[in-house]
Amino acid sequence: MLEMLILLVCGSILVSGVLAVMLNNLMAAMVSAGLASLFAAASYVLLAAPDVAMAEAAIGSGLATLIFLYAIRKTGGDVTDE
């Protein structure tokens, strides 16, 4: 059961990571990258490392995503990336 859950979460990391690379809309890509980070935090919790999970959830999916969003807006890359 736990193995299945871990596999599911790891698969989600992969999917959202690939989406972050493939998506043309920069905002959507950035949210997808944050999602990958969030799934990574979930996998740390499942693997019994709550200390690491807390840092990953706060920094990886919270602060890093926001900094990227600010940067995207500042450079005017809000639209689609051709």
Which residues contribute to the site for other proteins (CB under 8 A)? 50-51, 54-55, 58-59, 62-63, 66-67, 69-71, 73-74
Q: Which is nearer to other proteins, 7 or 67 (CB)?
A: 67
Q: Which is nearer to other proteins, 63 or 79 (CB)?
A: 63
The CB-of-19 to other proteins minimum distance in angstroms stands at: 19
How far is residue 62's CA from residue 68's CA, in Å, rounded to a whole number? Answer: 10
Q: State how far the alpha carbon of 51 is from the alpha carbons of 46, 48, 54, in Å.
A: 12, 9, 5
